[in-house]
Structure 1
Amino acid sequence: MVPLPSPPPLTKPSGGSTLVGRPTSWRVVRQLHPLPKATVFEQVVQRLRSIIESGQIAPGERLPSEREFAESLGVNRSSVREALRVLEAAGLVDIQHGRGVFVRDSDDGLDILLLPLAGGEVPAELLPDLFEARSILESTLARLAAERGASDVTGLEAALTELEEAISHGEAPIGVDRAFHLEIARLARNRVLQALVKTTYALTEKRFDDFFAAGDRARRSLVQHRQIVEHIRAGDAVGAEEAMAAHMQDTARAWLRYIKDQQ
């Protein structure tokens, strides 16, 4: 760990044992405060992730111990332990038994797919890559759905009806949009691709409510969804693939404009 001048001892806010901060530990622990009891696990994940992603701890550096985190946050060690496991699954830390927990330095793209586990979002510079991947993936799924599920479009038709009703009532249609895309994945009859759709959709889902509320986005999606369903119902694999590709490309352009306007 990076050597720093010895800090003064850190006392647990609610009383109890004194924490003598190690160099890296002090830089992190002094920012922590007791958490409310509600949704403790999620808050621990969010707090630790924000510290790691802030860059205050360099890749390869060791994080404070479970005990230090638990005492500073006012939670039990099991909550911290589970949070660290989620962060490890998301590729943010490396748990080395007997040595400690270290911040990872990884450009492995697969870690991006695990960001939802840690409550994370895809960095803005990777959004074009994400939408390109979604376009490739979901276009293929639309083609497979037309080939394998043309006789079972009841779920897609229901999603269209729900989307139309949500728009007419001025409601955010994010749940309906998600259901539509997942239903196409189900009709494709490939469980691995279906799982990938769930994950890639989750990476952009956080801001979709506001995105759909902007302009005519929801109505454009409804028109495009109808075209996709028509091709799937007709068993037109090529048409379904092309319609989904056009839908994803149009969504990507609008989404990237929306993100740029928010910055």
Structure 2
Amino acid sequence: MALRTVKALEKIPRTTLVDEVIAAIRGMLDEEGWTAGTRLPSEHQLSIQLGVGRSTVREALRVLGHLGLVQSRSGLGTFVVGKELAVRHSAPDQEAEALSQFFEFRRATEPAAARLAAERRSSSALSAIKASWQACYAGAQNSSVDDFAALDFSFHISIFEAGENQFLIDAYRAVRPSFIKYVGMVLELGPLTRMMHFHDKLIEAISRQDPLAAVRAVEENFVDTDVRQRMMMLQTSG
């Protein structure tokens, strides 16, 4: 008996608790009265209201900060900056799978590179990492998204070079065009100026030669990029 072919099911967008908290806070910001300059409830108050841990609230606020919607002020709290995302375009349907696979590649290679860099970096390699990040820092204020993505690639390849594994270095160098393209897409969600301290923890961990902290810093930053990817997919499907 011949087998019937059935229509493939569409993929269900993956969400996380951080996504849900971000959605809840964004919904709150849409309400009247939450104008620019309004102080949000504290992390503790938000965690109680939303029924989640403070670490989840903190991560959600960090992502919202990078997206340019809120701003944390030391000793004062977190304040509303804006309500609209600075979106230029969403990922086309045909790009969605390639975008996902590219970030899978990054997640597979960058933690390993960060660990090796923290273990093996020389003083000259550390100087190269810091110089590359200073260029990114300046680029966040003055560059286009594509230009910043190119600078960001130079920063990341400097970490791979510090780890002194030629196979990893060659594999990462090969994806430079894809890096600029797909990282550029993700960066378009939110102002570049909010990326100016994005990798500070990673650089600090490599500087003090702490491989576990270096890997944690990479994984922490992937929470931000993962959320941005899912937002792009939702906008595309909508």
1:182 aligns with 2:154: no
- Alignment partner, residue 195 of structure 1: 170
Could you tell me how far apart the structure 1 residues matched to 2:113 and 2:122 are? 12
Aligned length: 142
Provide structure 2 residue ranges, at least 5 long, that are not aligned to the other structure. Answer: 1-93
Query: Amino acid of the residue matched to residue 103 of structure 2?
Result: F
Measured in 1, the distance between the counterparts of 2:160 and 2:226 equals 19
Q: What secondary structure, in the 3-state scheme, does the structure 1 residue paired with 2:209 have? A: coil
TM-score (norm 2): 0.52
Letter in 2 for 1:193: L
One-letter amino acid matched to 2:226: A
Structure 1 residues 157 and 127, CA gap change in structure 2 (3 angstroms): same
Deviation sequence 1:8-36 (CA, Å, 0-9, x none)? xxxxxxxxxxxxxxxxxxxxxxxxxxxxx
Change (3 A) 1:201 1:139: farther
Alignment correspondent of 1:144: 116
Superposition misfits of 4+ residues, deviation over 4 angstroms: none
Rate the CA distance shift 1:184–1:225 in 2: closer, same or farther, 3 A. same
Structure 1 unaligned blocks of 5 or more: 1-121
Distance 1:156 1:226 in 2: 11
Identify the structure with bigger relative contact order (alpha carbons < 8 Å, sequence gap 6+): 2
Structure 1 residues 92-241: aligned runs within 5 Å: 123-149=95-121, 151=123, 152-172=125-145, 173-216=148-191, 218-241=192-215
Match of residue 253 from structure 1? 227
Indicate conservation of the 8 Å contact 1:159/1:180, yes or no: yes
Query: With structure 1 as the length reference, what TM-score do the two structures score?
Result: 0.47
Return the index of the structure with the highest Cα Rg: 1
For the aligned residue pairs, the C-alpha RMSD in angstroms reads 2.6
**Alpha-carbon separation, structure 2, partners of 1:161 and 1:250:** 21
- Report sequence identity in percent: 23
Where 1:224 maps in the other structure, the secondary structure is: coil
Deviations 1:209-241 (A, max 9, x none): 45424313x345432311110000000010001
Shift in alpha-carbon separation, 1:255–1:188, aligned structure 2, 3 A: same
